[in-house]
């Protein structure tokens, strides 16, 4: 953690509450079913794939389309090193899976496929359909291989720079039930992607912003988004922020440990 993240974590730890401070029936249920409930069995086959990636020393070319990675000086990187620094942890993947399952999301969207591990979790629930966006050709090839191995016919991978591919895709008027923004850890693109997606969210839609304390500018983006006029509920679990579009939630905000 850098100094900004340490300070943010300390403040988060001080402000976090548990279920005894939640008076909203919806958020009380969400806390117990999604945040607190961590009893689901792990998806061992997906985790085997993660372990294979972590132990792979083959070189790939990765161009940082968003915030530059602090871990690498060259675009030539070992697959295992990229996996170690870019893949969401098991705990995060399980959280995203439970959100999709809880929301009964049928149309989900992911910005930032990487190697496809999180995509496999998001596409796991019954009836789930996922559209995932990635701009790095070598990451796309790895993700496609993983999707083919798991025979995931319910995943559509959109290739190319998200700045161009997302607006084109959203010309389709279909509503989105769940979206994960994990592609470009900078203020301006995060706000822009959110504004594009917000117009297409269903009445009970949920957007997750990953790495909300990655940097001061991501912290700034999170502060703005949780106060956005279309957001009626928000949850800060430090690693990510969860935004709700349900009008019935009455602009409630929570800080929870996870």
Contacts of 188 (CB under 8 A, 6+ apart): none
Give the single-character DSSP code of 57. -
Residue 200 CB neighbours (<10 A): 17
> Mapping DSSP to helix (H, G, I), strand (E, B) and coil, where does residue 163 land?
helix
Q: Are 91 and 71 in contact (CB under 8 A)?
A: no
> Mapping DSSP to helix (H, G, I), strand (E, B) and coil, where does residue 226 land?
coil
pLDDT tens for the chain, residues 1 to 258? 889 999 999 999 999 998 888 999 999 999 999 999 877 778 999 999 999 999 999 999 887 665 555 655 567 889 999 999 999 999 999 999 999 999 999 999 999 999 999 999 999 998 999 999 999 999 999 999 999 999 999 999 999 999 999 999 999 889 999 999 999 899 999 999 999 999 999 999 999 999 999 999 999 999 999 999 999 999 999 999 999 999 999 899 999 999
Let me know if residue 186 belongs to a domain.
yes
> Mapping DSSP to helix (H, G, I), strand (E, B) and coil, where does residue 237 land?
coil
Structural domain count of the chain: 1
Let me know if residue 64 belongs to a domain.
no
Let me know if residue 121 belongs to a domain.
yes
Let me know if residue 239 belongs to a domain.
yes
φ, ψ (nearest 5 deg) of residue 159: -95, 140
| Domain extent for 219 | 3-43+87-255
**Checking phi first, is residue 124 left (phi over 0); if not, alpha (psi -120 to 50) or beta?**
alpha
Q: Are 253 and 225 in contact (CB under 8 A)?
A: no
Let me know if residue 71 belongs to a domain.
no
Closest CA to 230 of 208, 205, 256: 205
Let me know if residue 241 belongs to a domain.
yes
Q: Model pTM? A: 0.93
Residue 16 CB neighbours (<10 A): 16
Let me know if residue 73 belongs to a domain.
no
Q: Are 52 and 150 in contact (CB under 8 A)?
A: no
pLDDT value at residue 69? 53
CATH number for the domain harbouring residue 222? 3.40.50.150
Closest CA to 100 of 86, 83, 116, 119: 119
Q: Roughly what angle, to the nearest 10 degrees, separates helices 44-54 and 90-103?
A: 140
């Amino acid at each position: 953690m850098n100094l900004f993240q340490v300070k943010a974590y300390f403040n988060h730890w001080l402000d976090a509450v548990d279920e005894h401070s939640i008076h909203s029936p919806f958020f009380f249920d969400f806390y117990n079913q999604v945040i607190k409930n961590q009893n689901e069995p792990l998806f061992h086959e997906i985790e085997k794939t993660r372990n294979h990636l972590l132990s792979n020393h083959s070189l790939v070319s990765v161009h940082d389309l968003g915030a530059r990675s602090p871990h690498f000086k060259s675009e030539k990187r070992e697959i295992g090193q990229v996996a170690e620094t870019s893949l969401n942890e098991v705990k995060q993947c399980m959280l995203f899976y439970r959100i999709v399952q809880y929301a009964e999301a049928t149309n989900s969207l992911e910005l930032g496929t990487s190697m496809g591990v999180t995509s496999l979790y998001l596409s796991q629930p019954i009836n789930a359909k996922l559209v995932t966006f990635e701009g790095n050709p070598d990451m796309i090839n790895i993700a496609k291989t993983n999707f083919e191995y798991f025979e995931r016919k319910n995943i559509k991978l959109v290739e190319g720079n998200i700045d161009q591919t997302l607006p084109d895709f959203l010309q389709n008027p279909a509503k989105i039930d769940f979206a994960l923004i994990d592609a470009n850890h900078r203020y301006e693109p995060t706000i822009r992607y959110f504004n594009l997606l917000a117009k297409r969210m269903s009445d009970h839609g949920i957007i997750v912003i990953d790495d909300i304390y990655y940097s001061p500018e991501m912290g700034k983006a999170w502060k703005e988004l949780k106060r956005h006029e279309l957001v009626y509920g928000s949850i800060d679990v430090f690693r990510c922020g969860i935004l709700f579009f349900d009008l019935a939630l009455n602009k409630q905000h929570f800080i929870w440990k996870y």
